[in-house]
Amino acid sequence: MPLKKSEIETFKKRLLEMKEQLGASLKSVSDDVKTPDDSKGYSQHQADEGTDDFGQTISIEVSSQEQGIIRQIDRALEKIEEGTYGKCDVSGEEIPIKRLEAIPYATMTVASQEKFEKGMI
């Protein structure tokens, strides 16, 4: 059953909020990674530097995942503008509302997503 206009507006609002939150998080991580750590130097132990570098690597990995989610959010927002939000990009089937409630940026049904992740499509 196609989504109602009010449901689509609710999802759009939620997607925009998610995008804003992720954008702020990305900016914060980016600023942290770019800012040199003044505490590094002769007085800091090598193990501490390793821990700091590991933390920075984790931050970069998390931000990479967040960028992927932002791309998915952008695609979902495109689908809203196109009038195809709630339909699977692959099969054209309706995406169950429970899936959209859990993952509002979902653009595929679970079955299509599984095939995509396995490299079958």
Domains defined for the chain, CATH in brackets: 5-117 (1.20.120.910)
Contacting residues for 99 by C-beta, under 8 A, at least 6 apart: 106, 109, 110
What whole-number distance in Å separates Cα of residue 103 and Cα of residue 98? Answer: 9
Asked whether the predicted pLDDT for residue 43 surpasses 70, the reply is no
The per-residue pLDDT for range 49-98, each reduced to its tens digit, is 555 566 566 656 666 788 899 999 999 999 999 999 999 999 999 999 99
- Report the distance separating Cα 81 and Cα 77, nearest Å: 6
Provide the pLDDT for residue 81.
97
Flag whether pLDDT at 28 surpasses 80.
no
Between 6-15, 20-29, 34-43, 44-53, the lowest mean confidence (pLDDT) is in: 34-43
Q: 75-105 burial string, b = 16+ CB within 10 Å, else e?
A: ebbebbeeeebbbbbeeeeebeeebbeebbb
Distance CA 57, CA 111 (A): 33
pTM (two decimals): 0.71
- The position carrying tokens 């939620």 is 14
pLDDT-derived band at 101, boundaries 50, 70, 90: very high
